């Protein structure tokens, strides 16, 4: 380990000052790639703590572009996303679910990037749907107010992430995961109060929920669902089998609570999945066409149900629906009434009107 970086293997947790210094070293063009790679590899080998995960996120947010959105205690800002990394190749579930949630009345501020571990990331499919990706920070509140949702492209708001792209690509080519494979969902510059985040590794659910709480979320679920294979899960709530959930909750001066539970899609009324392969996605254009078909009500079945269960969980976290079952009704209604499709239309039009390109 280079003497430039703290040695993660020699201590149980890095301090925030050490994390800050490490970010500066990682983004320095005067330091070679090897000590940077060695540091990130050692940190991941030792296993990051919740405080370290939150600390890296906070340090990156402090170096990023700020987004100021007026708060409404009756309508919290909502984020729904996944860490990626499950290699399942599913349709862009959380991206489609954002429009279902928005159509049901939620204020959705989704933060994401282009695909890294998948053929089609949230930014890729939104671009194919006609949404302008590049917004001026000052325009974000206006887009949200007019459209009910807004998308923040990570690379536009976080210079740290952009500068580390070559290093991350090099490590990914070696099959090496780092803390940056987990940080994405924690970096929403709007600092949403409510968040649904899918985690590819079920062993990380608890510490991820703790990190969300450390970053100021009021209510959040870290979830991991059953995938198409018995030995592989997904970073979404699933309709192919049970999903594990670790929920964080803290309002006002209440004592923070964390609880664990399981969501069984059969108990919520979803039918057994006859053709799981229908959940699979393709490239940006094909995924965009399917999402439009689902939002308009033309395509039903497994993919639609997968989108609905995730949208319902997000709505429940945003306070829309006193129970998950009530939130499910709101999600189905959002599609049936055309509200979900209109939510996409509004974002498409509003993002173009405020595009920074």
Residues 157/186, Cβ–Cβ less than 8 Å: no
Q: Which CATH number fits domain 77-353: 3.40.50.970, 3.40.50.920, 3.40.1030.10, 3.40.50.800?
A: 3.40.1030.10
Q: For the chain, report the end-to-end CA distance as a whole number of angstroms.
A: 43
Distance of CA 99 to the CA centre of its chain: 14
For each of the chain's 357 residues, which pLDDT tens digit applies?
A: 668 999 999 999 999 999 999 999 999 999 999 999 999 999 999 999 999 999 999 999 999 999 999 999 899 999 999 987 666 788 999 999 999 999 999 999 999 988 765 668 899 999 999 999 999 999 999 999 999 999 999 999 999 988 998 998 899 889 899 999 999 999 999 999 999 999 999 999 999 999 999 999 999 999 999 887 655 789 999 999 999 999 999 988 888 999 999 999 999 999 988 777 888 899 999 999 999 999 999 999 999 999 999 999 999 999 999 999 999 999 999 999 999 999 999 999 999 999 987
Structure tokens that stand for 13 in this block: 């947790």
Q: pTM for the full model? A: 0.94
**Residue 351 and residue 356: Cα distance in Å, rounded?**
9
Query: Domains of the chain: which residue ranges?
Result: 8-62, 77-353
């Amino acid at each position: 380990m280079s003497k430039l970086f703290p040695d993660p293997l020699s201590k149980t947790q890095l301090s925030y000052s050490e994390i800050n210094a490490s970010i500066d070293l990682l983004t320095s063009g005067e330091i070679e790639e090897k000590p940077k790679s060695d540091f990130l590899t050692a940190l991941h080998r030792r296993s990051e703590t919740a405080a370290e995960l939150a600390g890296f996120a906070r340090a990156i947010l402090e170096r990023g572009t700020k987004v100021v959105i007026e708060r409404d205690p009756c309508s919290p800002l909502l984020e729904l996303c996944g860490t990626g990394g499950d290699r399942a190749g599913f349709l862009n579930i959380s991206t489609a679910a954002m429009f279902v949630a928005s159509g049901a009345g939620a204020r959705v501020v989704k933060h994401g990037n282009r695909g890294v571990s998948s053929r089609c990331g949230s930014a890729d499919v939104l671009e194919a749907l006609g949404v302008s990706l590049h917004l001026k920070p000052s325009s974000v509140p206006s887009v949200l107010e007019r459209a009910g949702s807004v998308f923040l492209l990570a690379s536009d708001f976080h210079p740290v992430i952009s500068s580390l792209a070559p290093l991350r690509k090099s490590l990914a080519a070696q099959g090496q995961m780092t803390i940056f494979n987990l940080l994405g969902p924690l970096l929403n510059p709007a600092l949403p109060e409510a968040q649904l985040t899918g985690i590819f590794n079920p062993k990380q659910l608890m510490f991820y929920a703790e990190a969300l709480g450390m970053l100021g979320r009021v209510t959040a679920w870290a979830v991991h669902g059953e995938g198409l294979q018995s030995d592989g899960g997904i970073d979404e709530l699933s309709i192919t089998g049970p999903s594990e959930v670790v929920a964080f909750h803290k309002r006002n001066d209440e004592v923070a609570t964390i609880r664990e539970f399981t969501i069984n899609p059969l108990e919520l009324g979803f039918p057994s999945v006859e053709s799981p392969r229908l959940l699979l996605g393709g490239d940006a254009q094909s995924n965009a066409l399917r999402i439009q078909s689902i939002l308009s009500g033309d395509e039903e079945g497994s993919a639609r149900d997968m989108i609905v269960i995730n949208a319902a969980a997000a709505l429940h976290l945003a306070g829309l629906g006193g129970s998950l079952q009530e939130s499910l009704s709101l999600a189905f209604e959002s599609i049936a009434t055309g509200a979900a499709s209109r939510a996409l239309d509004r974002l498409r039009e509003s993002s173009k009107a405020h595009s920074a390109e």
